[in-house]
Amino acid sequence: MSTGRYLTLLIGSGPSRPRGIQGYGLWRRYWSALLGIHLPPLDAPDPARAPAPPTRAGFVRLPRFDRAALRLAASGDPERLTTGWTSGDRAYTVRESGPGEIELLVHVDHDATAELLPADVTTDRGTHPYLLVFVPDDPHGSVAALRLSASFLDVATGPVQPSAALDTADPATITRSVAATPDPGMSGWARLVAGRPADDPIARVIRDAAG
Amino acid sequence: MPPADPAPAADRYELCSRLLFGPGTWFELCRDAAGSPSAIAGLRARLAPGADAAEAFATRSSWPGESRLPQTPPAPDPGSASGDSLLLPASFLLPGPSPLPESSLLPESPAPGAGSAWSAAKAASDVLAAMDGGPGANDLLRSAAAHWRRANVLPTLPLTGAGIGSPTAPIARRLAVLTDDAAAADRAGLGFLAICVRAFARDLPRKRREAELPVLFDRRSTGGHGVLRLTLLDDGPPGLYPDPRSMLFLVADRRFAEALDTAWRTAGPRLHDRCVIWRLTTDGLPCDEIAGGSLGAAFGVGLADLAPRLLRARRLDRRCAVTAELQPDTRLAEAGGVPNKLEEAVRKRWRVVLAPARDPDTLPEALLRAARVRFAVDLAAAVRSCRTKMNPAFVALAAAVLLAASGIAGGAVAATRESRAAHQREIAVGLIPAAASVRRTDPATALLLEALAVRLGAPGARPVLVQSVVDNRFAGAFDGFAGIEDPCGGRQTWSPDGRLIASIRPATDEVRIWDTASRSLVRTVAMHDDVTGCAFSPDGLTLAIAVGGRLAQLPVLDPTSQPVLTTVEAVQVQFAPNGLLAAIGDHQPLRLWSVTGTPRLVGSIGADVSEGQRQPPVAFHAGMMAFIDRPNVVIADLARLRVRARLPVSAESLAFSPRGVLAIGRTDSLTELWDTGRPPRRTDVLRYQAPTGYVASSLGFGANGTLVVASHASSHVWQIGSEDPRRLRALAPVDSQVGSADLAPDGRTALVTFGSRPPSLWRVDSHGWPRAVVTLPGGTVSGVRFLPGTTQMLVTAAGGAAALWDVADPARPVHLRAVGPREGRGTRGGSSAASVFSGDSRFFAAADDDGGAGVWAVEGLRRVMTVPRSGDDEVVPLALSADGGLLVTRNHESNGLQQGELRDERIHLWAVREGTQPTATPPAESQPPGTTPAETRPPGTPPAETRPPGTPPAESQPPGTPPAETRPPGTTPAESQPPGTTPAESRPVATLPAVSDPEVAFAPDGRLVTVVRAGTSGDAVATWWNVADPRRPVTLASRRFAIEAPGVIAFSSDGRRMFVTSETGPGVSWDISDMSDPRLVHSQVSLHDGQALATATSGNTLVLSATGAIDVWDMTDPTLPAEVAVFATDDKSIFHEHLAISPTGLLATAQWAEGVVGQYTNESIIQLRNVSPILTAVTDPVAAACHIAGHDLPTTLWQRHAPGITPHPICP
């Protein structure tokens, strides 16, 4: 081990600062640097202690997407982490999308622009319900997306609902869902707004949530 | 252009993430394309509507502060786009952002409906295109600058210049022109373009310093975290810019831009002409969107940390986040989303610095406590709060550096010391041989070199030096003698007391007088004419000087006196013992003058008395004189001046012995000895002949019948007497040519002159063989002791006799008092048992003639206690405690033993009480736990089981006690006691276990008794008893050790070391400083010869008496005893058991008075010797060597014999 790398590991400085240095005392840094052991990052939440998303009838629960765990499992600088699953006609894509962000994409092979996909999403900040709106993706399909700030993601999607279900939706859920929708998905919310009266409270909630 | 089949959403999202965050970011693509027009065109094509990059960037198209709900796109305005063919995809035409500040150079908002990511990518490609030059370059640059101005990632402070390096000179010039023409608010954008250009050109300035601090975000429903890193670059456009390598796509709101502006304005003036870039990341990924001004304080803190400082003992705490808005007056204002941020900080285990809350109640106390929140009112306070108490890295590095420096310095110092020590050892080891090599030419230097070896720690140097000092006969040189300067010659060179010598310095016609102790010049007397002779008068008051052929007399004691010239003709002078002055002329008769008062001629004799070369040609003895009247030596009667005999000897020098033997030094260097009886006859010839041509230049008789003869080549000491003359040794074994050797009046020291060296003093005898100063009658001596604090010596003898002597003048002891038979000389043929003395020497105990023992007080020599004989057993005193209060005796069965048979002897402890009636002290009723039971039976009382039945108790009729009826009528038992004594108690206070032939001694503290008994197989057992309570002696320790026939026991004066001599071989020394664990220190204290009979210690010197010799050991290092001296008596009086050393270094020894016959009669003599030179040499050999040399080691000798060592004084 070169002296420079040793010092880098020891004091956690330099451009190639290793993971897992911050938060540890100098003594543990010293030993880990000396032995070449990477300390696990202290800020990584313990997924085992995070609550699992509640599963209701008809819900599909995806395997946990854990950025920290995936990073630790990676041997080098990771590629952008992406996992995908297919359940029925739905293709789920969960991926890192930016600083501290995880994106959830749900693709169906039919026009689902008139549908809402409810999802219970558990992150390190708790479990919250979301509504995903579909927008046309390719000539024959639709896609719905969420972009969340989280370290890990537990997703359980339920059966699709018609867009009319928005009437009974919790406004907080709508606000949360609009805020978590990436820009291309906003056209779906715009369409829902356009299909509602001008003074419709749901439409106002959506507009307010869109900024 | 109709869009091609769009990529699946997942691919678009993925590509967008790659282009924004890597790997393969848009920045990297631009950097790789820089300088390649085709590549640049390819990149720009990917931004065309429907192209992959455009589609991907569409997933992140929001501008902060704008509604993200898409609206109906406006009609495309071709004029709004730049000159190229880029068209925005219709689906990405979002509502326009908020109006830009006034911009002079950017009249049109570039791509007002474009998404933020696409816009950033296009701006970057515009910069690339502008770097290639061309007619639309300025517009491209303006368009690019407009994006980042619109992105709110630049301060609005008017920055100056767009400094850019030479590799990109064309674009630099272009940017400079644009900057000059731009409004103040636009210059920052152009400065950022300069950074981008250098980044694309891989020419980003080098990093000078960096600051990093955590930041907290409010992500609406939750908190977020990130890291802000600011980097101070070596050069570049002054200002605060995002790092183009990662912050290319960042968009922010207006408040963020204002926060940046405030942070840059409040940064120290030292940064204002510097280029600082920053990046904001979360989990290593650059942020692409940010809003709000809560990072203002973080930027301010980071910039403050970047400012140059001399010392950085404290750095920013990487686990402390500050979140507050920074105001232009550097005060902090509360930021929004604090609860979410605090929750995030708690999750991250960070501490937080906040601006004082306007409503403190809104923040949960638990959260504040968990986040360890500290409030800061302004930027300076925030900086202080964000810093570590001590920079751990700094401390660690400082400690490491200090440790390394200490190690290196310590190592260097240790290496230097080791090297120096090794050099010193090497030098020191070589000094001993060097001393040996120079001893014959320069004995003083030899001593000093050995002293230096001791100082430098040469192994074994100390014993060598001690031996040299003890054996040395060189007593110092008169280094002040200058040029040709000779002593007067003959014995009368010396003053009668030996303190002065006189010399003649012909070159200056001076007589000089020297002190022999310090070998320094006392007085110089100018004579103003040729000085040819001088001599001290017998009374030492006058120095007779032959000057200009006449006699002058100089009063010596008056330092201001001047010589008085007389009319007496004299070339050489010599005083007779009766005070007459012999004046020797040049081939004239010898004239004798009375020089008391006016000189008066007494008479003359001879016809042609030759003047001697070195010594006056005349010698005197009693009423006789001898002088050289060539070719004869004339012996004449001094009173009548009548010739008694003429000896046909061609003489050069003459000397009379104290017994009247005339020694004649011949011109052929032989020496004849003549009996001056009638008629004179030659008795011997000393057959040592110098080389041809040398004469026997001087003669002198020393003490103890030795004769010193000096020729012009050498000097020797001869032993003359009844036997044939025997040459003992060279007087001054040096290589220099000896001129003469003038003996001091005491005959012990000679002033030896050399050919070219200053004269020096040499002892006829060495210190290592001290001669007896005086011999005293001793009688049947049983002990000898010097009384501390006095000059008195006590000699005890058999039968309780004692004699007290005052030895203040060892040569003339005064007999003070005596008690006992034969006036203190003891009973003839009495007991040979040794007396024992108390530590303070106030009491002694001795066996009496009745088989008992007594204790005497030295003061008044009165008996204070009597221990009667116990039946058939004689009572032998073994030891007396330090204060004389406790006596240890043994019962010696004298009858019924076969020769060589040993029988266990009981050891009793007796309380000695002076002047008090005896009180029955019962023996211990019970033995303390853990102690060895001490017998409590009365002395002489056999064990009960051995007592025949019906035998009355012993005490009722002690065996050997005469029956009452045999007592003289009218006497009482008490009257049988010596007058003035106190009878002993009927029983001893305690009895120790019986052993055979024990040796017992009290330690100096008086509370420790050591009993050593011989084993059966070449070993012995030493047992230490604590007798602080005499009635209950307690065993402290017992050790078996190897020794052949243990002899006497002695203690060092401090009581920490104990010596046990051996009668046949090595003795041993014990370290008894810890009485619970006595340790055998050394077992090699061996006697020179034979049996150790007695010991005495003085300081670190152990003196042992062996049969026929005295052994002196240096015990300074108890593990390495060194034998200092071994000497015997000069006659047949053999040393035996008793000796003592006075504090002044006087050794008193008892010796058999009649040779071997004394061993049967016990008659002894006492001799005194001065061994203080030996003790002095042992105590401080270096000081003794320096005293002999008379000076310290000169620098020249340091350089010659100890090169590389800084000269320093070695003499105390």
* Nearest chain A residue (CA) to B13: A97
Task: Tell me the DSSP string of B794-844.
Answer: EEEEGGGEEEEEE-SSTTS-EEEEEESHHHHT--TT---PPPEE-TTSSEE
A138·B69 Cβ contact <8 A = no
Residues A30 and A72 grouped into a single domain:
no
**Amino acid B192: pLDDT:** 87
Q: Which residues contact B542 (CB under 8 A, 6 or more apart)?
A: B536, B553, B554, B555, B556, B595
- Mean predicted confidence (pLDDT) in B958-983: 39
In a domain, A160, yes or no: yes
* Nearest chain A residue (CA) to B340: A125
**Amino acid B1003: pLDDT:** 84
B18·A206 Cβ contact <8 A = no
Query: Chain A closest CA to B231's CA: distance in Å?
Result: 11
List the single range of B218-222, B269-273, B747-751, B1097-1101 with lowest mean pLDDT.
B1097-1101
**Amino acid B278: pLDDT:** 93
Q: Is the pLDDT of residue B228 over 90?
A: yes
Residues A19 and A67 grouped into a single domain:
no
- Higher-pLDDT residue of B793 and B757 is B793
Q: Is the pLDDT of residue B564 over 80?
A: yes
Mutation for testing the B interface, residue in A125, A153, A187 having most B CBs under 10 Å: A125
Q: Which residues contact B1198 (CB under 8 A, 6 or more apart)?
A: B1205, B1207
Mutation for testing the B interface, residue in A21, A29, A149 having most B CBs under 10 Å: A149
- Higher-pLDDT residue of B816 and B975 is B816
**Amino acid B163: pLDDT:** 53
A100·B225 Cβ contact <8 A = yes
Band (pLDDT 50/70/90 cuts) for residue B87 is very low
Q: Could you tell me the residue range of the domain that residue A28 belongs to? A: 3-35
- Higher-pLDDT residue of B17 and A5 is B17
Residues A131 and A28 grouped into a single domain:
no
**Amino acid B164: pLDDT:** 53
Residues A156 and A84 grouped into a single domain:
yes
* Residues of chain A neighbouring B288 (CB-CB closer than 8 A): 98-99
In a domain, A40, yes or no: no
- Name the maximum alpha-carbon separation found in chain A: 69
**Amino acid B901: pLDDT:** 55
In a domain, A174, yes or no: yes
Residue B69 has its nearest CB partner, among A11, A43, A189, at A189
Cα(B738)–Cα(B798) distance, integer angstroms: 54
**Amino acid A5: pLDDT:** 55
Band (pLDDT 50/70/90 cuts) for residue B1136 is confident
Band (pLDDT 50/70/90 cuts) for residue B939 is very low
A184·B226 Cβ contact <8 A = no
Q: Please give the interface size between A and B, counted as residue pairs whose CB atoms are below 8 Å apart.
A: 129
**Amino acid B627: pLDDT:** 87
- Is the minimum CB–CB distance between B399 and chain A shorter than 8 Å? no
Band (pLDDT 50/70/90 cuts) for residue B1089 is very low
Residues A84 and A173 grouped into a single domain:
yes
Residues A20 and A120 grouped into a single domain:
no
Cα(B1122)–Cα(B203) distance, integer angstroms: 83
A80·B18 Cβ contact <8 A = yes
Residues A67 and A31 grouped into a single domain:
no
* Nearest chain A residue (CA) to B60: A183
**Amino acid B893: pLDDT:** 66
- The distance of Cα B1076 from the centroid of its chain, to the nearest Å, equals 30
**Amino acid B925: pLDDT:** 36
- Is the minimum CB–CB distance between A148 and chain B shorter than 8 Å? no
Residue B17 has its nearest CB partner, among A10, A11, A97, at A97
Sign of CA dihedral B935, B940, B946, B948: negative
* Nearest chain A residue (CA) to B400: A7
Q: Is the pLDDT of residue B140 over 70?
A: yes
Q: Is the pLDDT of residue B843 over 80?
A: yes
Residues A76 and A29 grouped into a single domain:
no
B69·A210 Cβ contact <8 A = yes
Residue A99 has its nearest CB partner, among B220, B287, B349, at B287
Place of tokens 């009793």: B908
The structure tokens listed for B157 are: 């402070």
Q: Which of residues 29-48 of A touch B (CB under 8 A)?
A: 42-43, 45
Q: What is the DSSP letter of B1004?
A: T
Residue B14 has its nearest CB partner, among A82, A149, A190, at A82
Model confidence pLDDT, tens digit, residues B1033-1060: 888 888 888 877 777 787 877 778 888 8
Q: Which residues contact B1123 (CB under 8 A, 6 or more apart)?
A: B1086, B1088, B1111, B1112, B1113, B1114
- Higher-pLDDT residue of B309 and B339 is B339
Domain tally for chain A?
Answer: 2
Helix, strand or coil, per DSSP, at residue B1108? coil
Band (pLDDT 50/70/90 cuts) for residue B80 is very low
In a domain, A139, yes or no: yes
**Amino acid B1161: pLDDT:** 78
A137·B6 Cβ contact <8 A = yes
Helix, strand or coil, per DSSP, at residue B1157? helix
In a domain, A100, yes or no: yes
Q: Is the pLDDT of residue B232 over 80?
A: yes
Which among A132, A97, A124 is positioned nearest to B15, based on CA atoms?
A97
B393·A11 Cβ contact <8 A = yes
Task: Give ipTM to 2 decimals.
Answer: 0.74
In a domain, A14, yes or no: yes
pLDDT in tens, chain A (211 residues): 455 555 555 555 544 444 445 666 677 767 766 666 666 655 555 444 445 555 566 678 888 888 766 555 444 445 667 888 888 788 889 888 888 788 999 999 888 989 999 999 998 778 899 999 999 887 778 999 999 888 888 888 888 899 888 888 899 999 999 989 998 889 899 999 988 888 889 999 998 888 7
* Nearest chain B residue (CA) to A126: B222
Which among B225, B219, B22, B316 is positioned nearest to A44, based on CA atoms?
B225
**Amino acid B1105: pLDDT:** 67
* Residues of chain A neighbouring B346 (CB-CB closer than 8 A): none
Residues A157 and A205 grouped into a single domain:
yes
B71·A190 Cβ contact <8 A = yes
Model confidence pLDDT, tens digit, residues B677-700: 888 888 888 877 666 677 777 888
Q: Which residues contact B185 (CB under 8 A, 6 or more apart)?
A: B101, B102, B103, B149, B156, B158
- Beta strand pairing status for B792-797 and B781-786? antiparallel
**How many other C-beta atoms lie within 10 A of the C-beta of residue B47?**
24
- Mean predicted confidence (pLDDT) in B712-733: 78
- Do residues A189 and A174 lie in contact, with contact meaning Cβ atoms separated by under 8 Å? no
Q: Is the pLDDT of residue B418 over 60?
A: yes
Residues A19 and A69 grouped into a single domain:
no
In a domain, A47, yes or no: no
- Higher-pLDDT residue of B984 and A117 is A117
In a domain, A52, yes or no: no
Q: Is the pLDDT of residue B321 over 90?
A: yes
**Amino acid B67: pLDDT:** 81
**Amino acid B926: pLDDT:** 35
Residues A129 and A174 grouped into a single domain:
yes
- Is the minimum CB–CB distance between A51 and chain B shorter than 8 Å? no
B282·A99 Cβ contact <8 A = yes
- Do residues A91 and A106 lie in contact, with contact meaning Cβ atoms separated by under 8 Å? yes
Which among B470, B1187, B517 is positioned nearest to B767, based on CA atoms?
B470
* Residues of chain B neighbouring A149 (CB-CB closer than 8 A): 219, 222, 224
- Higher-pLDDT residue of B342 and B1104 is B342
Cα(B303)–Cα(B306) distance, integer angstroms: 5
- Which amino acid is located at A63 in the chain? P
Residues A71 and A169 grouped into a single domain:
yes
Q: Which of residues 66-85 of A touch B (CB under 8 A)?
A: 67, 77, 79-80, 82, 84
Query: Chain A closest CA to B1051's CA: distance in Å?
Result: 58
Helix, strand or coil, per DSSP, at residue B528? coil
**Amino acid B980: pLDDT:** 46
- Do residues B750 and B741 lie in contact, with contact meaning Cβ atoms separated by under 8 Å? yes
A186·B69 Cβ contact <8 A = yes
Model confidence, pTM: 0.53
